[in-house]
Amino acid sequence: MNIPIFELERIQSIFENTVDFNLTESGFHPYSLSELLDKNQLSELEHMVMGYGQTNGSIPLRKRISALYNNVNEDNVLVTNGSSEANFIACHTLLEKGDEMVMMVPNYMQMWGIAEEMGCIPKAWHLIEENNWAPDMEELRSLVNSKTKMIAVCNPNNPTGYALTSDEMREIITIAKNVGAWIYADEIYRGAELNGITLDSFVGMYDKVMVNGGLSKAYALPGLRLGWLVGPKYIIADTWAYHDYTSITAGILSNYIAEIALQPDKRLEILTRNRKMLNENLIVMRNWLDHYGNLFEYVQPQAGGMIFIKYNLDINSSELAEWLRKEKSVFILAGDCFGMDHYFRVGIGAPKQYLIDGFERIRQALKDRFNV
């Protein structure tokens, strides 16, 4: 097998449903259909014929998605089965064997594995913790050359919660323009900003931009498996061709429910609920961490449903995660999944009491083993 195991997703898939407290989720507590839809909408679901939908996404849904961006319409949008499929399709559309891809790290490492499998050369461009996870722009300049076909960013970032400034976005665009590289922006956490102000998208800032989005994270609807790509019409037409060879189409139910979720009033309701949850839970998380003094170090996230924590204990991050899972039935995500030992990621989009109880389990474990 040429493609590497995607350790983050494999580990989560194996263990997230086997523990009392799964603290690895990076989104928000999911909606139920009865919470999301009114009685008339639920009734329509009962009578919906389970046929195939339009393979690139229903027109009403693509219009809703296009309204989230500047100067695009439904022809600039491809609907996919989650943003993971969007990432896969984007790589196969924009990259060829031998191309170089410069990727922001730490990051959700799916695209790194896809690029390697394709025979491309991924290069790491680092966010710097000492600078509150701001990117090293000089490093980006040094990495980009005539072979660079893509600069891949995650904004807001997973796992750090860092959000690029407008100046940083413009600088990235300038660097990409100098070599004619594509900017591929993972914007799945756009809408999950703590300050309530939705970040600008890279769409419309440069003619060689493609972004992904979806309903799994900021919208708390991961079970729909509904994602999308937005980009120039000619390149979205190419992505549709690849989509015909992968999943062909997202489910008709997902298209219908997603179109409702992205109606302006409902979208605001969803994002407001999730941002409120994030701000409240961040206080709980911060109080818990600060109790331990220098044992834990962290930079407060600006967005997203998680916090990335450095710990000062003499134990590997995968060993720490495995020990907590086995001893206390608490599941955290090891920094090793991001290539960064002595860190771990904790999701803070769960119900508050669930987090409090999970942190108490970790407190007991740390006291038992490390006497802290």
CATH of the domain at 87: 3.40.640.10
Can you tell me the distance from the alpha carbon of 330 to that of 323, in angstroms, rounded to the nearest whole number? 9
Would you state the pLDDT for residue 1?
54
**Contact assessment for residue 8 and residue 109, using Cβ atoms and an 8 Å cutoff:** yes
Q: Please enumerate in sequence order all residues whose Cβ is within 8 A of that of 141, keeping only pairs 6 or more positions apart, or say none.
A: 175
What is the domain range of residue 338?
7-32+267-370
Strand 226-230 to strand 77-81: parallel, antiparallel, or no bridges (unpaired)? antiparallel
Torsion sign, CA atoms 162, 166, 167, 168: positive
Q: If DSSP codes are grouped into helix, strand and coil, which group holds residue 259? A: helix
Q: Is the pTM of this model over 0.85?
A: yes
Q: If DSSP codes are grouped into helix, strand and coil, which group holds residue 221? A: coil
Q: What is the DSSP string of 175-201?
A: HHHHHTPEEEEE-TTTT-BTTS-PPPP
Would you state the pLDDT for residue 254?
97
Would you state the pLDDT for residue 71?
95
Are residue 91 and residue 194 in the same domain, yes or no?
yes
Cα Rg for the chain, rounded, in angstroms? Answer: 20
Is residue 153 in some structural domain? yes
**Contact assessment for residue 158 and residue 303, using Cβ atoms and an 8 Å cutoff:** no
Can you tell me the distance from the alpha carbon of 211 to that of 250, in angstroms, rounded to the nearest whole number? 18
Are residue 72 and residue 218 in the same domain, yes or no?
yes
User: For every one of its 372 residues, what pLDDT tens digit does the chain have, with 9 covering 90 and above?
Assistant: 578 888 888 988 888 899 999 999 999 999 999 999 999 999 999 999 999 999 999 999 999 999 999 999 999 999 999 999 999 999 999 999 999 999 999 999 999 999 999 999 999 999 999 999 999 999 999 999 999 999 999 999 999 999 999 999 999 999 999 999 999 999 999 999 999 999 999 999 999 999 999 999 999 999 999 999 999 999 999 999 999 999 999 999 999 999 999 999 999 999 999 999 999 999 999 999 999 999 999 999 999 999 999 999 999 999 999 999 999 999 999 999 999 999 999 999 999 999 999 999 999 999 999 999
Please say which residue of 263, 281, 296 terminates a domain: 263
Would you state the pLDDT for residue 8?
84
Q: Structurally, how many domains does the chain consist of?
A: 2
CB half-sphere exposure, 104, CA atoms < 13 A: 30
Is residue 223 in some structural domain? yes
